[in-house]
Amino acid sequence: MTVNQRRLTQHYFMTAPMPCPYLPGRFERKLVTELRGPEANNVHDLLSRSGFRRSHSIAYLPACSDCNACIPVRVRCNEFESSRSFRRIQGKNSDLTRTVLPPVATQEQYQLFSIYQDARHGSGDMARMDARDYRAMIEDSTIDTSIFEYRRSDGSLIAVALVDNLADGLSAVYSFFDPTEHRRGLGTYVILDLVDEANLLDLPHIYLGYWIGDCRKMSYKMRFQPLEGFRNGQWVSMQDATTDTTSSNIGS
């Protein structure tokens, strides 16, 4: 079965309206599809290039009728513009060791995940995830996925990234880190490390999920240039991608 044939038989579903987790007072809907079967990796590659993201064994795309604030973004790695502040962050973390592992959840990871959620997202849904929920997030996947673990020189775990391996890049599904290590800039460092890894593997892109202009938590993604956004069926520079964003509209 070819990718095109698989795409023709892929089933899509629309979720019911739910409160938007990023823009207060708005509602979101998503177009979702399962990633199953022998062509799951190929379908995931195709959907990622069309702005979809993965969670567990599904791919989803925002489909709000009156709001297009969510812009899928990706970094063009071979043209990545490092900066003095980026180089400082890399220097501060030069003592860390990174290991790429199969997607297997551990208690050590979950403990760090819980500390991170309590400190950064204490009122969010993910803060209520137990060890079983965490294991499902890491292991419930039918596509090519890896865990990037970052450790201090004493062997203690300091950061983790769940990363999908795509034909044209790496997709940063989720990352978390020790929230007490403020000076290290670990969230930024993980993305910089993924850019380095993509260049080493000769992969052109790092997919960073969605950018929302009115959401402060998303603003950091604009630092990684050149950044592309998916708009009107194609990837364009973020300067062009944001010109038609009607984020002032109320989602359905």
What whole-number distance in Å separates Cα of residue 192 and Cα of residue 201? 14
DSSP single-letter state for residue 126: G
Q: Which residue has the higher pLDDT, 4 or 119?
A: 119
Is the per-residue pLDDT at 121 higher than 80?
A: no
pLDDT-based confidence at 122, cuts 50/70/90? low
- Does residue 2 have a pLDDT over 50? no
User: Which of 188, 246, 235 is CA-nearest to residue 213?
Assistant: 246
Does residue 52 carry a pLDDT above 80? Answer: yes
pLDDT in tens, 142-188: 999 999 999 999 999 999 999 999 999 999 999 999 999 999 999 99
Token pair belonging to 196: 């380095």
CB atoms within 10 A of CB 189: 24
Residue 9 confidence class, pLDDT cut points 50, 70, 90: confident
- Give pLDDT, residue 14: 96
Does 236 score more than 90 pLDDT?
yes
88 exposed, middle or buried (CB, 10 Å; 0-12, 13-18, 19+)?
exposed
DSSP state of 67: -
pTM: 0.90
Query: Token digits for 41?
Result: 């990796």
Q: Give the chain's mean pLDDT.
A: 90
Q: Given a cut of 50, is residue 232 above it in pLDDT? A: yes
Instruction: Give the pLDDT mean for 66-87.
Output: 94
